[in-house]
Amino acid sequence: MKNKRLMHPRNIFRTPPDYTELAIKYKEFRKVCKLELNGRVCIDYRNESTLRALTQMLLEEYFQLRVEFAPGSLVPTLPLRLNYILWLEDLITSLKLADAADVRGIDIGCGSSCIYTLLGARKNSWRMYALESNDVNLEFARSNVKCNNLEHLVEIFKQTNKLIIFKDFFDSKPNVNFHFCLCNPPFYDSTLPNPFHGKTRNEDKRTPPHNCHTGHDEELACEGGEVQFVHRIIEESELYPERIGIYTSMLGHKSSVGRIIEILTKKQITNVSTTEFCQGNTTRWGIAWSFSKDFQLDAHSSLKV
């Protein structure tokens, strides 16, 4: 992995797992591996069913989580999801937001895998509240939580209104405040003529991606893309400044980071921090903002990359 050295220090995937051993252990994973002449297995990352089997195996091996994905839905990649969770862990501990036993977080758009919620609950025993609007995804998410016996830590909330994120949820929980929210927004802008094509100058010269494209259109693109989506979160956060300690989101494109910071500056939200998630051949960005007077997000340099 190219960005191995920049992965979060506590990320267990800093050293790549021994896939041959894992193939010996897990039958379903073995089926999607290729056996090389020298006895090692190799993984074809460009195949959707391989990616799905890979993530399921890693979740089971390292987190004892048995997860089913809705067919055709986004297959999460574990190192990236872990990097995000680890960043949140750092924010919570260094800012002394709460005792470990008491943390409450919101997952905006948890998807069918409900992966951030499950990781947060399993790894850190956080109380997670997962918001999701798609019915099929909701069904899978509920089933995943149940299968892993995390119902005591996780609550799944159906979003009836796609355009308003927090209102219905906050109304249903009038006296509860939350320590953080996280979001993995649809990266791409559905209004553009070619939403999934990068802005490369020369398509032929750029190497094709090392993995393959998974996910429904709805999970990947929305009107205005991630900038618009996060903009909406920001606007709603202004209405509820005290209800969530740290608002965070992931961003898929480097250019979006600057644009979001611009939006935050215009709204005079200054308690802001950014970070990079580096793993494999991809880099993503995280942005956090807060209205709290008790701490400064970027005072802790270890959080900022």
Query: Facing residues of 276 across strands?
Result: 285
Spatial neighbors of 26 by CB under 8 A, at least 6 apart, are: 57, 60, 61
Which of 38/301 has CB closer to other proteins?
Answer: 38
Is residue 37 within the footprint of other proteins (CB under 8 A)? yes
Site size with other proteins, rule: CB under 8 A:
16
Instruction: Pull the structure tokens for residue 51.
Output: 């990616």
Is residue 42 within the footprint of other proteins (CB under 8 A)? no
Residue from 2, 10, 34, 206 touching other proteins (CB under 8 A): that is: 34
Q: Decide the pairing of beta strands 244-251 and 282-289.
A: antiparallel
184 annotated among ligand-binding-site residues:
yes
Residue from 7, 23, 80, 230 touching other proteins (CB under 8 A): that is: 23
Is residue 190 within the footprint of other proteins (CB under 8 A)? no
**From CA 176, how far away is CA 49, in angstroms rounded?**
40
Is residue 230 within the footprint of other proteins (CB under 8 A)? no
DSSP class per residue in 70-134: -TTS----HHHHHHHHHHHHHHHHHTT-S-GGG-EEEEES-TTTTHHHHHHHHHH--EEEEEE--
**From CA 183, how far away is CA 14, in angstroms rounded?**
24
**From CA 30, how far away is CA 22, in angstroms rounded?**
8
Is residue 16 within the footprint of other proteins (CB under 8 A)? no
Is residue 53 within the footprint of other proteins (CB under 8 A)? no
Is residue 35 within the footprint of other proteins (CB under 8 A)? yes
Sole window of 26-34, 47-55, 112-120, 246-254 interacting with other proteins (rule: CB under 8 A): 26-34
Binding positions for S-adenosyl-L-methionine: 81, 109, 132, 184
**Site residues (CB under 8 A) for other proteins?**
20-21, 23-24, 27, 30-31, 33-41
